[in-house]
Amino acid sequence: MAGHSPELREALFELLLRLGDDCLILGHRVSEWCGHAPMLEEDLALPNMGLDLIGQARSLYTYAGEVEGNGRTEDDLAYLRNDRQYRNLLLVERPNGDFAHTMLRQLYFAAFMEPYWRATCGSKDETLAGIAGKAVKEMAYHIRHAGQWVIRMGDGTQGSARRMKDAVEELGHYVDEMFGTDAVTDALAAAGIAPDPAALRPDWDRTIEMVFSEANLKQPQIAYPQRGGRDGLHGEDLGHLLAELQYMQRTYPGLNW
Amino acid sequence: MAGHSPELREALFELLLRLGDDCLILGHRVSEWCGHAPMLEEDLALPNMGLDLIGQARSLYTYAGEVEGNGRTEDDLAYLRNDRQYRNLLLVERPNGDFAHTMLRQLYFAAFMEPYWRATCGSKDETLAGIAGKAVKEMAYHIRHAGQWVIRMGDGTQGSARRMKDAVEELGHYVDEMFGTDAVTDALAAAGIAPDPAALRPDWDRTIEMVFSEANLKQPQIAYPQRGGRDGLHGEDLGHLLAELQYMQRTYPGLNW
Amino acid sequence: EAFLEAFQKRIDAEEKIEPNDPMPGGYRKTLVRQIGQHAHSEIVGMLPEGNWITRAPTLRRKAALLAKVQDEGGHGLYLYAAAETLGVSREQMTEELLSGKAKYSSIFNYPTPSWADIGTIGWLVDGAAIMNQIPLCRCSYGPYARAMIRVCKEESFHQRQGYEIVMTLAKGSPEQKQMAQDSLDRWWWPALMMFGPSDKDSAHSEQSMAWKIKRFTNDELRQQFIDATVPQAEFLGLKVPDPDCRWNKETGHYDHGEIDWDEFWRVVKGGGRMNRDRIADRKKAWDDGAWVREAALAHAEKRRDRMEAARVAAE
Amino acid sequence: EAFLEAFQKRIDAEEKIEPNDPMPGGYRKTLVRQIGQHAHSEIVGMLPEGNWITRAPTLRRKAALLAKVQDEGGHGLYLYAAAETLGVSREQMTEELLSGKAKYSSIFNYPTPSWADIGTIGWLVDGAAIMNQIPLCRCSYGPYARAMIRVCKEESFHQRQGYEIVMTLAKGSPEQKQMAQDSLDRWWWPALMMFGPSDKDSAHSEQSMAWKIKRFTNDELRQQFIDATVPQAEFLGLKVPDPDCRWNKETGHYDHGEIDWDEFWRVVKGGGRMNRDRIADRKKAWDDGAWVREAALAHAEKRRDRMEAARVAAE
């Protein structure tokens, strides 16, 4: 981070929040399955993925706090911002739905983040490169695990295939937002700190295509892709999630736990 | 309240909290149906019952604040106590379940509160008698409305009869707690302020028997009735309910809304 | 021909058309579409506000919100009843809503992420609804006109209540004021869109005006709304998010900037933030409730059979 | 006769019994019951702690809790695998759990209303579990003993973590300290009951001791637990909710008050606070997951068929 200009620091802070929020919210969603998964193996796998994501969120928030330089901790950033200040993708805040929705959401996100982190391993920002080095392996595992389930359910029974198709139809609306660019991503891409999200689309398409061809699924045409998460414009579910997530810190402010 | 001894005031405060918590929590539960009821008529009837209960809660809390004499408002009492400080019956905090559960829960509670308020109309405490005078009519309506639904579902289709039976089996565990007595109820009964809950059992049984005979339902034998709500020993659902209920007040303390 | 002329004469004489009166097919169809759409809007409109019932910040606000959402259900009920006088059943209309065939007001396809939105919806959305609906109280179709009289009375209560919520926030802490401004920023343009496309692009307007189903054009009503609302925002110390919005001494109205009609059509066509969630919610309520409705029917039949049997036995 | 004697000799010689070894029906049955019960306890045990995953007060605690609950699932997995070596399938065991035929540790029928309970469960419940389980690492049945070694290692990590949570609260604000004390008040007696009925009322003990499935009596283990835990509570400045609990110089142990065995049996027989909710939760997960398990099976079959077809075609 040393040597970044003030503008670049600001962009970097914003990026770290976005990525941190993505990881925390998806990690939270995945953790909601805990003890309620369809089989014991998934009662292990889902918290495992949740842990990867919450671990990434912690690193990202901690670094965000350093970059910002106002002394905010990982917990300040996670627990003391409201709905409108959260920067996560709409995809990750979508309710769990059934297991088909949950696994497809995981695949979509991981298929984006795996190449994202892979590119970030060469970041000019060493701290971010360090976070990426660990995260890229985790995301590769998420792709494998979720991808296998998408294949099993897509090419399973008639009922499971129908559910997979519903999930594809539903979550398709939230795909494009991942690849969105703006002044923040442009500045960081130009500075060699973080990849241009738009450039990762071919990678993502390849991964999804590979899984979908085995799963008998097709990517839908989406007339009106949804965006807004990066600007803090969320759906109605996020507020309820935050009411749970933040309850203790809001009720007992400023204590050690 | 003028003229009550300090011990009696303390008992009265405790009673008002208990009743207020019952009304607020059940009102909250019922309000969760809003916009999701099985038919439009119930999208009106459920909020209507919720409104009755929340209205009663407000009167009870306001009076509780006066009796306590520490300046606490209805909102202080509703929004700034935690799970362990809530005094409601376990019955009212049970999740909505299906429509059969919701209507049976409503019937059970109203069939208790209707004679409770009826007896309280003659309370030596005028404020409480005033609250009772309004509430008794509302509870009579809840008995009618919920009772009709219990009959329709119990004597409807095979599927609805099975669901009604499940509800009877499940909620039966929470019936006895309504009639529980302790030092608080004894003191207030002796002083002519509030009825002895145990004495209302025959009334309750009569109401339920009347409904159940038309609904083809039987009261189950319950080996181990559940209690604890009056001592702040709640199930795990209440904490989640409070996280929602209290989120705004916890997040933005001390503001006007 | 002669019938159409006679019908138009009745209309012109401000006579009310009643359910059993003869009426042109197009008149009936227009009314069914409009009343149905209006009823659906009330029903779907319960959802964005219902989102805050469990989190309302005080008990007073919680009760008021619950009562408001209940009123909306009530409006839905009158309106379905008015549509039923034209021979279309509630089930049929519900199925058209759930299949996406029937529309509802696009405003309800925006989410309510903040408590301030509850105030803003009352203030702007109910405010705009009233502008639209007051002329409908004189609509040529009797049952619709009478339903609207009742609806309008309640809506203006909601509108004042909403304004009062926003005022409390605007006069509150900096974060409350910020909440109110943010909410106004999000709802202003969608509220203006509630009056429908510009007159030059409005498909159904002319015939509806002739039939006195409609009495003002979309743009006229929109201008009325802006003229009424901008001073209210100023009084609250809030800023309407339109840099071109200013008083025009010559016209005696507020000017306003260009409305983003692409956004309008996107939402109408199902591409809004909440379109799919709203329909999914209603569909779930409807599907989950099927067994309850079936039970009620089955029970009613059993009762009828038993009463019939008792009657026969008594004879 | 001779077989039983030979078997007992192997046991007495501390030889491990392995899955394919001959074993008496009663030995097998006892083990299946005990391992199954133990596995179910891990699975059901995910629920009371899982209740706080979405509300953990810091990210560090959230991650640790998630990891802990995941470990419990892992223990369930090893234990089901150990039971499977005795010829009983996981499906069968799951059905016995859901039907209420198989038991699980009654401690999980108490609710977790407060965050402090997450600490207390680690400290007391995992602490008691370890006391019970350390001797099982030397259990005569090999697969069970080996599973327990792994389980015990993780449990002691959880126990330390739980103690650390309680310590943070006990050293925290007055309301945090109060939370910790309240939690200890609620969990102390149920934790003591985890060791099972008093030796004089324990049905399965003697034979289990002879078979070296068990190595200490319930009361011995309970006393060990009390002796280890009371000083920890004192160190935290918390009070064990037993007025009769005090150090006895003569016995070299802590005395303790009478355990409420009615409460114990009530919970064992299904009358605890959370029995029905726990089973309902597991049943819902199992039922809702049926289609997923079916899909996985169907897909595996399709794959096998395709590979078979490819093999045939290649020949």
DSSP secondary structure string for all residues of chain D: -HHHHHHHHHHHTTPPB-TTS---HHHHHHHHHHHHHHHHHHHHTHHHHHTTGGG-SSHHHHHHHHHHHHHHHHHHHHHHHHHHTTT--HHHHHHHHHHT-S---GGGGS---STHHHHHIIIIIIHHHHHHHTGGGG-SBHHHHHHHHHHHHHHHHHHHHHHHHHHHHHTS-HHHHHHHHHHHHHHHHHHHHTT-S-GGG-SSHHHHHHTTS--S-HHHHHHHHHHHHHHHHHHHT---S-TT-EEETTTTEEE-----HHHHHHIIIIISSSHHHHHHHHHHHHHHTHHHHHHHHHHHHHHHHHHHHHHHHH-
Tokens coding C278: 């709203």
**pLDDT above 70: percentage of residues in chain A:** 99
Q: Is B50 on the interface with C (CB under 8 A)?
A: yes
Asked whether the CA dihedral C110, C111, C116, C118 is positive or negative, the reply is positive
B199 Cα to chain C: minimum distance (Å): 32
Test A157 with D294 for CB contact under 8 angstroms.
Answer: yes
- Chain B residues within 8 A of C53 when measuring between CB atoms: 31-32, 34
Contacts A–D by Cβ distance under 8 A = 138
The Cα-based distances of D194 to D100, D103, D223 in angstroms read 19, 13, 12
Test D270 with B243 for CB contact under 8 angstroms.
Answer: no
Q: Which of residues 156-185 of D touch A (CB under 8 A)?
A: 165, 168-169, 172-173, 175-176
Q: Is A220 on the interface with C (CB under 8 A)?
A: no
- Least confident window among B121-125, B129-133, D201-205: D201-205
**Across residues B33-54, what is the average pLDDT?**
96
* Closest CB from C113, C271, C274 relative to A239: C113
Under-50 pLDDT residues of chain D: none
pLDDT at C79: 94
Nearest to A109 by CA among A127, A137, A90: A90
Produce one character per residue of D272-299: b if its CB has 16 or more CB atoms within 10 Å, e if not: bbbbbbbbebbeebbeebebbeebbebb
Separation between Cα atoms, residue A159 and residue D42, nearest integer Å: 31
* Closest CB from D111, D186, D269 relative to B236: D111
A51 Cα to chain D: minimum distance (Å): 6
Report the residue of B236, B238, B247 to disrupt the D interface, i.e. the one with the largest count of D CBs within 10 Å: B236
pLDDT (tens digit per residue) in A68-85: 999 999 999 999 999 999
- Chain C residues within 8 A of B49 when measuring between CB atoms: none
- Least confident window among A19-23, A154-158, C214-218: C214-218
Number of helices (H) and strands (E), helices first, in chain C? 13, 2
**Considering chain B, what is the average pLDDT of its residues?**
97
pLDDT (tens digit per residue) in D284-293: 999 999 999 9
Q: Is A63 on the interface with D (CB under 8 A)?
A: no
Q: What subunits make at least 3 CB pairs under 8 angstroms with D? A: A, B
Residue type, C180: A
Separation between Cα atoms, residue B231 and residue B84, nearest integer Å: 8
Q: Is C257 on the interface with A (CB under 8 A)?
A: no
- The SS3 of residue C195 is coil
pLDDT (tens digit per residue) in B203-249: 999 999 999 999 999 999 999 999 999 999 999 999 999 999 999 99
The CB density around residue C88, as the number of other CB atoms within 10 Å, is 18
Rg, C-alpha atoms of chain A: 18
Residue with tokens 């502008």: C131
Report the residue of A25, A30, A31 to disrupt the D interface, i.e. the one with the largest count of D CBs within 10 Å: A31
Search chain D and give the residue with CA nearest A244.
D55
Q: What subunits make at least 3 CB pairs under 8 angstroms with A? A: B, C, D
Is residue D274 a contact partner of residue B224, using CB atoms and an 8 Å limit?
A: no
Separation between Cα atoms, residue C275 and residue A237, nearest integer Å: 14
Q: Confidence band (pLDDT; 50, 70, 90) for C200?
A: confident
Number of helices (H) and strands (E), helices first, in chain B? 11, 0
Name, in order, each residue with C-beta under 8 angstroms of B41's C-beta and a sequence gap of 6 or more.
C77
**CB half-sphere exposure, C106, CA atoms < 13 A:** 22
Search chain D and give the residue with CA nearest A44.
D70
Search chain A and give the residue with CA nearest B245.
A243
Chains D and C lie in contact, requiring 3 or more CB pairs less than 8 Å apart: no
* Closest CB from C113, C270, C272 relative to A84: C113
Contacts A–B by Cβ distance under 8 A = 19
Separation between Cα atoms, residue C109 and residue C94, nearest integer Å: 18
Helices A158-171/A99-120 angle, 10° precision = 50
What angle is formed at CA D249 by the lines to CA D248 and CA D250, rounded to 5 degrees? 95
pLDDT at C213: 77
| Max avg pLDDT among B57-71, C9-23, D12-26 | B57-71
Q: Is D266 on the interface with B (CB under 8 A)?
A: yes
pLDDT at D206: 77
Query: DSSP H helical segments within chain A, as ranges?
Result: 6-31, 40-68, 74-79, 90-93, 99-120, 126-154, 158-171, 183-190, 201-215, 237-245, 247-251
Test D294 with A156 for CB contact under 8 angstroms.
Answer: yes
A224 Cα to chain D: minimum distance (Å): 31
* Closest CB from A243, A250, A251 relative to B244: A243
Test A234 with C113 for CB contact under 8 angstroms.
Answer: yes
pLDDT at D207: 81
Separation between Cα atoms, residue D230 and residue D233, nearest integer Å: 5
- The SS3 of residue A200 is helix
* Closest CB from D62, D77, D295 relative to A44: D77
Q: What letter does residue A191 receive in the DSSP assignment? A: T
Test D273 with B170 for CB contact under 8 angstroms.
Answer: no
> What are the DSSP E strand ranges found in chain C?
246-248, 253-255
Test A235 with C112 for CB contact under 8 angstroms.
Answer: no
Test C54 with B41 for CB contact under 8 angstroms.
Answer: no
Test D77 with A78 for CB contact under 8 angstroms.
Answer: no
Q: Is B36 on the interface with A (CB under 8 A)?
A: no
Separation between Cα atoms, residue A221 and residue B66, nearest integer Å: 63
- Chain D residues within 8 A of B239 when measuring between CB atoms: 51, 55, 113-114
What angle is formed at CA C130 by the lines to CA C125 and CA C135, rounded to 5 degrees? 145
What angle is formed at CA C58 by the lines to CA C55 and CA C64, rounded to 5 degrees? 85
Separation between Cα atoms, residue A102 and residue D29, nearest integer Å: 40
**Considering chain A, what is the average pLDDT of its residues?**
97
pLDDT at D1: 78
**Considering chain C, what is the average pLDDT of its residues?**
94
Test D63 with A51 for CB contact under 8 angstroms.
Answer: yes
Name, in order, each residue with C-beta under 8 angstroms of C130's C-beta and a sequence gap of 6 or more.
C152, C155, C156, C159
**The overall pTM is greater than 0.90:** yes
Kindly give the pairing relationship between strand D246-248 and strand C253-255: unpaired
Separation between Cα atoms, residue B226 and residue D158, nearest integer Å: 31
Separation between Cα atoms, residue A85 and residue A87, nearest integer Å: 6
**Across residues B194-201, what is the average pLDDT?**
98
pLDDT at B243: 97
Search chain D and give the residue with CA nearest B170.
D276
- Chain A residues within 8 A of C51 when measuring between CB atoms: 236, 239
Q: Which of residues 166-195 of B touch C (CB under 8 A)?
A: none
pLDDT (tens digit per residue) in B11-38: 999 999 999 999 999 999 999 999 899 9
pLDDT (tens digit per residue) in D152-167: 999 999 999 999 999 9
**Across residues C220-242, what is the average pLDDT?**
97
Q: Which residue has the higher pLDDT, C314 or A170?
A: A170
Residue with tokens 């203790």: A248
Q: Is A240 on the interface with B (CB under 8 A)?
A: yes
The CB density around residue B56, as the number of other CB atoms within 10 Å, is 25
Residue A1 clears pLDDT 80, i.e. is over it: no
* Closest CB from D70, D165, D295 relative to A47: D70
Test C271 with A170 for CB contact under 8 angstroms.
Answer: no
- The SS3 of residue A150 is helix
**Across residues A192-197, what is the average pLDDT?**
98
Rg, C-alpha atoms of chain C: 22
* Closest CB from C63, C173, C298 relative to B156: C298
> What are the DSSP E strand ranges found in C150-268?
246-248, 253-255
Search chain B and give the residue with CA nearest A248.
B243
The CB density around residue D253, as the number of other CB atoms within 10 Å, is 14
**Across residues B115-137, what is the average pLDDT?**
97
Test A244 with B246 for CB contact under 8 angstroms.
Answer: no
The Cα-based distances of D10 to D16, D85, D86, D149, D211 in angstroms read 8, 19, 18, 21, 10
Q: Confidence band (pLDDT; 50, 70, 90) for A126?
A: very high
- Chain C residues within 8 A of B44 when measuring between CB atoms: 70, 73-74, 77
pLDDT at C203: 66
B249 Cα to chain C: minimum distance (Å): 6
Q: Which of residues 193-212 of B touch C (CB under 8 A)?
A: none
* Closest CB from C54, C70, C176 relative to B44: C70
pLDDT at B2: 61
Test D113 with B243 for CB contact under 8 angstroms.
Answer: no
pLDDT at B233: 97
The Cα-based distances of A27 to A22, A109, C115 in angstroms read 8, 11, 26
**Across residues C180-201, what is the average pLDDT?**
94
Q: Is D281 on the interface with B (CB under 8 A)?
A: no
Separation between Cα atoms, residue D144 and residue D149, nearest integer Å: 9
